[in-house]
Structures are given as structure tokens and as C-alpha cells.
Chains A and B, each alone.
Chain A
Amino acid sequence: MSRFTPPSASENPVRRYDIWLWVILVLLAALYPFTQPTTARLLIAIQMFMLITLASNWNLIGGMTGYVDFGHLTFFGIGAYTVGILMTRSGEVIFAPQLSFWQAWPFSGLTAMLFALTLGAATLRLKGPYFSIAMLATLLAMREIVRLFTPLTGGGGGLDLPPELNRIQEYYIALGLMALSVGLMWWIRNSEFGLSLLAIREDEIGAEMRGINTTLHKTTAFALSAFLTGLVGGFWAWQNTYIDPDVVFFEPRNLEMIMAAVLGGLGTVWGPPLGAAVLYWLREFFWNRFLFAHLLGLGLMLIFVVLFLPGGLVGLLQKGRVTSVLDLWRLQPAHEEET
């Protein structure tokens, strides 16, 4: 006789309370503009939402799949320049009609994704620090390419995008992007695809021997992450109304998305949003108090987290529990066999 009762078909294998909590938080955030906040406060919220989105997207490839991408901002830049070029250079340099933001925006994600598929075919063959350095080199190279390709990108002079300055609209777009990205991470984490990504992170050869097509899985994760990051880049370019290589490929932004994921908890669904929110607040704090040393403060904090909180804030909150779980149902022994 079995000592454990097998799962019944009616039982749900995934806990959903956390995603409902997320939905409630997003709905509450959607009500915020009705309190008539100042433009500055709306801008702060937009920036925080973008950081959460970037950290969650980075976490898909860096945290869940274990490919620590030091050059993920490349996709943000590609997204930003795709929107910038399609909104300002169409008809002049490229033979396409000038597009509105809403027409151009989907292409920011698609271009970033296509670039990721091409780049990933080469870089995802590399492991560990070799992949990280290859991606960092890609970021630096892309910035110089954009700077040199003046007819299309405007070079160092950048591109001026037509301003709309509707902060409430921007707020809802940033909120929607964030809700979508985090929700997608939750879904992936609870799926067999997510489980396979975690297996690749832990032991890629072992994952292959379990029948997982590791190339397909990690390329899909890389491309999806790039797509969403490209969308953020496209949106950022539009709401910023100006782009140039230095403001788009801005290294601290690259560092912050990684730091947020590490601070919150690599490979977890809720770690990067939590880490990004805390990091944003800390950044403002350091910026206000120690203007000339704020990056030093953030750097020291990252060292502290890596050394003393390897599981991040989520790991700290869940001390004693496994943080890298899919939150699958916890089936307890139903009854012991009588002997």
C-alpha cells in the first residue's frame, strides 16, 4: 500500500495567491493618477516601473537561466533607436513612411528580439564569464556603432523625438509594461519551460541528458527578454524625447538592472521587483545625501548583498525555505502505512 497519496486531478498544482496580490497592487497603482499627483511624482513612478521591468526581464536570462548578461542594455538601446529612427528618420534615410510612436513601438521589441536571436547564436555557446564579457563587449561596440552611423542615428548629436508630454499616458504605459513583464515571469516560473531554465542554470549538461533542448530553451529566454527590454527602450526614447549614444547606452542603467535582480533575489519572480523598488529608493537617498559618491554607495551595497545575502531580499524573507522553487503544491504525506 502506498505511503503517500498521489495527487488528485482536482488539486491545483500552482499557488496563485501571489499573482492575485500582484494584480491588486497593479490595480491600486492604476488608481494613483486619480489622486492628482504632481508631474515629478508621476515621473518618479514611471522610472521605478521601468527599473522593475528591466530587472525582471534581465532576471529571465541572468537569474533563471544563469547566463549573467553584462550587456543587456544593448537591447534597450536597440529599442530606443528603433523608435527614434522610425519616428524621425523615415522618409529621409530609410524608405518608409514616418511613423507615430504607437506604430513604431512594436518594432522596438521585434528589432531587439531579432538582434538577440542573431547574437545569441554565437554568444550563448559561451559559458560563465566568457558570455558576460562577450555581452559587455557587444554593449560597448553597439554604442560606438551608433555614434559612427551618423546618417541614421544622428551620431553623437542624437535624435530629437516629437514631444507629447502626456505624463499620465506614459504612467499607464510604464505600469502596463511592468505588469506584463512581472506577470510573464510568474507564468514562466510556474511552467515546465521555467523549470527547464532553472535546470539549465544549475547544470546544463545534466539538463541535456534529461532531454531538454538547452539551445532552444536559452535562446527563447534570451529573445523574449530582449523583446521586452527593447519595448522598454522604445518607450523610454519616446517619453525622454531625446536620445544619443551616451544617454541610451548609459552604463549605470545597465548596472542597476543587474543590481536590482541580485538585491531582490536571482531567479525568483518577486525578487527583481522588490530589489528594483528598494534600489530606486536607495539611489534617491544616496543621490540626495552623497551626490558625488552615490555610485560608490550603490557599489558597496552590491558587494554587501553578494557577500552576505546571496539569496537576496527574497532569500532573507524566506530563510529556511528553498527560494529557487516553482512554488508547486506541497503535497504532505496523507497517511502512514500501518504495520
Chain B
Amino acid sequence: MSTPILEGRKLTKTYGGVLALYRVNLSLYAGEILGLIGPNGSGKTTLFNALSRVVPVDEGHIFFRGQDVTDMRPYQIARMGLARTFQVIRVYRKMTVLENMLISRPWRDVRPWDLLKPSRHDIHRRAWELLEFFQIAHLAHMPAGALSGGQRRLLELAMASMPDPDVFLLDEAMSGINPTLVEQIKERIMEMREQHGKTFLLVEHNIQFIADLCDRVVVLHQGQVLAEGTPAEIMDNDDVIEAYLGV
């Protein structure tokens, strides 16, 4: 099997006395769509935060493109080609939608003095294209704080797409978005994977979304990996049904 593009090895994280992750292993391969599911409090978001270095891990290592990034800062990993969305939407509420997009600019080939100039036209063009795809171009000059929850989700997805990353970590990115648009986003994710080889790690409570999109699914329970397999295997797994579906 090829080397994973993103890998967590024996990741352990505690908050006070609470064990949020315990020796979790997770491998994400280039071009793969991997689903991460589990009951509330199972450690999904903590795992996302650990992989993107938003929180440091107590033990274990994180590898991105084969490089140990455990001690790197989030911006360094972001510049290496990893983008994420957050469970609690993080957009710049006092700034316009367009400004939110411009902030999420690609960082490849940026020289320090470029930062002393206004955003380049190609960055503006990419921002408009993505806003249009996510159907929020008409809101471009509105403050992001004035958008509805669903529109802010779309903005966050558009912002994550702005730097053209290779790996997307999407944390409940479909919640609050209308079903028609969810279908379109699903198609877009497939298109990005098929045509551009993009890789996705998705946390979702929408099981149908996971079943339709994912090649593999990892189930977390009480901070540990409970099961791993294809969506069909996971749906038939008795441990998962008991722990996650509560049946």
C-alpha cells in the first residue's frame, strides 16, 4: 500500500483528566475520501484539531506528505496544502464575504513584499469563481456576520477551497445546508477527487452523505478507533450499531 498523505500515529490527547484521544492511528491516502463518525464526545473534533495542529497532542506523531509535522504550527501545515473547516463556523464576521475569501489566499510563491500590495487580480478572480460555485456571490459585499448559518457554512467551504489545497478536513460541513446544495457539494467533492486528485477527511452525522461519498469509514468511540472499513462493512458492524446508532 502507498504511503499515506496524512497520518496520525498513536495520538493521545487529554483535557484535564478527560481522555479525548487514546493511541489513535489514522491514515489518509491521496485521492481518498475518508469518513470519520462517532457519537458526540467520541473525539472526532479533537482528532481534527490534532491533525491540523490547532491543539498539541500529548503523545504520538503526525505525518503530512511523509514529513513529521507534530511540532509545526497550523499555518505551516496549511501552507503545505491542508485546509479545514470547523465544527463551530469560523468566518470573519465583521469583514465582508469577499474579504473573507481574500484572506484565505493561496500561499504558494508569495514573496514578503507581495503582502505590502493589495490582493492580486487572479486572487480576486478565484474568489469570485468560488463564491459563484457555492452560490453566495450575491452576498460578496455583505458582512459575513449578517449571513445565515447555512450561508456561513458555504462561505467556510469556499474559504477552505481558496488556496487549492490537496487535503480537506471538513468538520460537519454539511450541517445547515439545504439538501439540493448538499447534493451539488457532493458532486463537487467527487469531481475534485476524480479530476484533481484531492483528498478528503469528513466528519459528518449525515450517514447517507458518508455512505454515498466515502471509500472508507473510521468509527471513533470514547477516544479510540472502534471500527474501520467500507461504509457497507461499518453499517453491518454490531459494535458500531451498538455504540453509535444505539440500537
Partner-B contacts on A (CB < 8 A): 2-4, 6-9, 13-14, 187, 190-193, 195-196, 198-199, 202-203, 205-215, 322, 324-326, 328, 330-331, 333
Contacts and interface: CB of A to CB of B under 8 A. Distances in A.
A193 B128 contact: no
24 contacts: A3-B132, A6-B125, A6-B128, A7-B124, A8-B121, A13-B118, A13-B119, A190-B118, A191-B116, A191-B118, A192-B115, A196-B103, A198-B99, A198-B103, A202-B93, A202-B94, A202-B95, A210-B75, A210-B105, A211-B75, A322-B94, A325-B99, A326-B99, A330-B141
Contacts of B79: 211
Interface string B54-81: 1000000000000000000111001100
A206 B118 contact: no
A322 B78 contact: no
Contacts of B95: 198-199, 202, 322, 324-325
A205 B74 contact: yes
B106 to A, nearest CB: 8
B56 to A, nearest CB: 13
Contacts of A213: 73, 75
Nearest to B85: A209
Nearest to A332: B141
B96 interface: yes
A192 B140 contact: no
B12 to A, nearest CB: 22
A203 B73 contact: no
Interface of B: 52, 54, 73-75, 78-79, 83-84, 86, 90-96, 98-99, 102-105, 107, 114-119, 121, 124-125, 128-129, 132, 137-138, 140-141, 143, 159, 163
B65 to A, nearest CB: 16
Classify the interface of chain A: helix, strand, loop or mixed.
Answer: loop
B244 to A, nearest CB: 28
Contacts of B121: 7-9, 13
A187 B84 CA distance: 31
Contacts of A199: 92, 95, 103
Contacts of B116: 187, 191-193
A198 B93 CA distance: 11
A63 to B, nearest CB: 12
Contact of B52 (A190, A193, A209): A209
A62 to B, nearest CB: 16
A4 B54 CA distance: 36
A42 B84 CA distance: 56
Contacts of A9: 121
A79 B160 CA distance: 44
Given A203-B90, A328-B99, A192 B117 contact: yes
A208 B54 CA distance: 9
Contacts of B74: 205, 208-209
Contact of A328 (B84, B107, B117, B119): B119
